[in-house]
Amino acid sequence: MRTWLVRIGKVSLVIGLLLIATNAVLYFKGISASFNIADSSKDQFLLISFWQIGAGLAILGVAVIFAGERS
């Protein structure tokens, strides 16, 4: 179980860092990268940037790695 937690944490950390890097590259190209988590057919827009999702995944990954190594 311990090794699986560390592996899942590392994968989550890498995906989070890749999303942050992708957002940075697209920002310098002048493109806005975001997910719409609301219903666009009803003209509801709740946009979340890639860096916010990446930061959440990276923090979660660090926490899971820490929990896996402590157990």
Does pTM top 0.75 for this prediction? yes
- Cβ neighbours around 44 below 10 Å, total: 10
Q: pLDDT (tens digit, 9 = 90+) per residue, 21-64?
A: 999 999 999 998 888 888 878 888 888 999 999 999 999 999 99
Residue 13, pLDDT above cutoff 80: yes
pLDDT of 43 reads: 81
- Mean pLDDT score, 3-27: 95
In which domain, by residue range, is 39 found? 2-70
Which of 71, 62, 58 lies closest to 20, judged by CA?
Answer: 58
Residue 9, pLDDT above cutoff 90: yes
Residue 69, pLDDT above cutoff 90: no
